[in-house]
Amino acid sequence: MSIKLKTLTALILIAAVIMMSACTETTRRTETNVSESIKIPVIMYHGLTESEKLRNTYMIPPSLFENDLKYLQEQGYTTIFVSELVDHFKKGKKLPEKPVILSFDDGYLNNYTYAFPLLKKYKSKAVISPIGLAADQAEDEKYRSPKWSQCKWGELREMYYSGLVEIENHTYSLHKNDSYVQGAAKRADESDEDYEKRLRADLKQSNDRITKLIGRKPCAFVYPFGAKSKNTESIVRSMGFSAIMDCENKMNIISSEEDLFHLHRFLRDDKKTLEEIIVIENQN
């Protein structure tokens, strides 16, 4: 082999080694992106009302919600859907630098009246989890009242098609909280088998309505009142849900798909500013 050829071979070998190490570096970096833990606040809203009389822990003025949207934008947060968080951990899809999830429970008509125009104004996203039965009943005029009614399917669909709202599962008819029934939790008088059958049937009914009337199968389940029993999570998971939202007032540090089944949410009442909720609660 001539000296020139030897030099050329050596150069090719060096180039190959550099390329291989560059590839390894790229692979490592991509993996790190997905395996890095994500800090993400999830804010829990219910209804919005202009009426002082109707105002309570679960019914806050639209102006407070607008302040929240402004505050989040000023602080560099980007609103995302639960499905985007799921896709990040399952498919490696990129997330914005400071993600936040805004979730609305129960599917109140006032979400459509007040929250939806503000979401459009601030180009922000929200997750709405309606009670299936209430959305069915809202089709009947006798259940229509701006004060307490829930959204009809058409209104939920319109919000979903705007690209700013995702619809998730909050049970079909288990949204009750009394001495006999506490949301999706097991009743005292039923066996494990009967409970599983009842929960599965209800969640399936809600999923079927949402899939048929909205056009997308929910990826998340939201516990009504945060109520659950020892088997609830495993039943929900076995039905193919990729995420579960609860009512624990905590920040989320998510490192894996497993953590998606325990997404905690800060209750947004009218007692504090969102800054106090996110920053101060986070320090406790």
- Alpha helices in the chain, H assignment, sequence order: 3-35, 62-74, 82-91, 109-110, 116-121, 132-137, 153-161, 192-214, 232-238, 274-275, 281-283
Minimum gap (Å) between residue 273 Cβ and Zn ion: 24
Q: Which of 77, 81, 89, 105 binds Zn ion (CB under 5 A)?
A: 105
Return the residue nearest Zn ion (CB atom): 105
| DSSP one-letter code for 224 | G
Residue 130 as a binder of Zn ion (CB under 5 A): the answer is no
Minimum gap (Å) between residue 129 Cβ and Zn ion: 7
Token pair listed for 255: 């490192």
Residue 168 as a binder of Zn ion (CB under 5 A): the answer is no
Residue 166 as a binder of Zn ion (CB under 5 A): the answer is no
125-129-130 Cα angle (round to 5): 130
Residue 202 as a binder of Zn ion (CB under 5 A): the answer is no
Minimum gap (Å) between residue 105 Cβ and Zn ion: 4
* Among the residue ranges 90-98, 99-107, 117-125, 266-274, the one whose residues contact Zn ion (CB under 5 A): 99-107
Counting residues that bind Zn ion (by CB under 5 A) gives 3
Residue (of 215, 223, 230, 224) closest to 262 by Cα position: 223
Contact 140, 149 (CB under 8 A): no
* Among the residue ranges 18-26, 222-230, 232-240, 274-282, the one whose residues contact Zn ion (CB under 5 A): 222-230
What gap in Å lies between CA 217 and CA 111, rounded to an integer?
Answer: 21
- Which residues are at the interface with Zn ion (CB under 5 A)? 105-106, 224
